[in-house]
Chains A and B, each alone.
Chain A
Amino acid sequence: MSENQRIIEIEVLRYNPETDKEPSKQVFEVPFTDDMSVLQGVQYIKDYLDGSLSFRWSCRMAICGSCGMMINGEPSLSCETFLRDYYPARVRVEALAHFPIEKDLVINMEGFIEKLESIQPYIIPKEERTLAQGEYLQTPAQLASYEQFSSCINCMLCYAACPQFGLNSEFIGPAAMALLHRYNIDSRDGGKGERMELVNSEEGVFNCTAVGYCSEVCPKHVDPANAVNQNKTNSAADYFMRFLTPKGGAK
């Protein structure tokens, strides 16, 4: 190890469903260097101090979205959060807020996966084309209209940030709504009618109270708050316009 190595205290929220009634904290003293992320600190604990510590990680470069944790109470990707920024104070690491804990820092993401499936996150073609007719073309401007909403890596930091998801886990939530919006405004897509049913529902956009913290914590600079609030307008229009249009809005 290099000579500028220091020791930082990492407080970890531990929970073993087989033996613990409730989560408790455990403090580790971890030697670190300036280039070490919180994820590397947690990996040090697993490799050298306590092999039973569980956490998710994969790419180490803010692409995979696996290593989201609450770091000093803030939803963060632990791979792009650095120990040096907390030293000499202790850094506190906990499982993502608002989700059931499976073990230690691993949360149960089943509910989120169901939500992702429910928004039909794929292009439902506006018009069927045969292979012979070639690809669906799109102009750069049409791409630009939805591109930022397609950058989501499903890290769920926005769900840990959303107080309304914390109060009501049925709420479809920021990331799923951003992705829904991404497909609804894609020029090649014709599935808006089907997806609006979810937007309009009691689990839909009106659970949001425009806090905006979801967009603040997003590591990929997606703006889910924007997607949710644009869809409040869409949903309100659909609510009232269905009395005026022959089709009658979304179901």
Chain B
Amino acid sequence: MKRTLKRSNAPIFWALFGAGGMLSALLGPILVFITGLAVPLAMLLPADTMSYANMLAFAQNIIGKGFIFAIISLFLWHAAHRIFHSLHDIGIHAGIVAKLICYGGAMVATLITAYTLLAIGF
């Protein structure tokens, strides 16, 4: 019986994956509807809902900032984790390299999002 067990660091990625999964399941479809159908086709919503001025105001609001950050970052962490495990499932066990590309990508995008949201001011 082996007794040299190493604690897995998976909970960090699993928690981000879970949060992103929950968020995308709850908000993904309606976001696709709003940004892809309702606004461009002027259904239900006014045509200028996503005008530059409106979107800038949204991104400058503290709650809007938080929303945009959570949507972009957590969706990406969810996708990164899913892609990493799917690679493993189809027989690509790239290990640390795949991990760096998948999670690294999500991490870089998270930092860029945070920087951009802070840069456009309040």
Contacts and interface: CB of A to CB of B under 8 A. Distances in A.
A2 B1 CA distance: 52
B103 to A, nearest CB: 14
A47 B5 CA distance: 47
Nearest to B5: A201
A238 to B, nearest CB: 8
Interface in B44-89: 85, 88-89
Tier of interface size on chain A: 10 to 19
30 contacts: A114-B1, A117-B1, A118-B1, A163-B89, A167-B88, A167-B89, A167-B93, A197-B5, A200-B5, A200-B7, A200-B8, A201-B6, A201-B7, A202-B5, A202-B7, A202-B8, A204-B8, A206-B10, A206-B11, A206-B14, A209-B85, A209-B89, A232-B14, A235-B8, A236-B11, A236-B14, A239-B7, A239-B12, A240-B11, A240-B15
Interface of A: 114, 117-118, 163, 167, 197-198, 200-204, 206, 209, 232, 235-236, 239-240
Nearest to B18: A236
A211 B18 CA distance: 16
Interface of B: 1-2, 5-8, 10-12, 14-15, 85, 88-89, 93
B15 A202 contact: no
Contacts of B14: 206, 232, 236
Task: Give the residue among A198, A200, A203 with the most B Cβ atoms within 10 A.
Answer: A200
B1 A235 contact: no
Task: Give the residue among B8, B14, B89 with the most A Cβ atoms within 10 A.
Answer: B8
A162 to B, nearest CB: 12
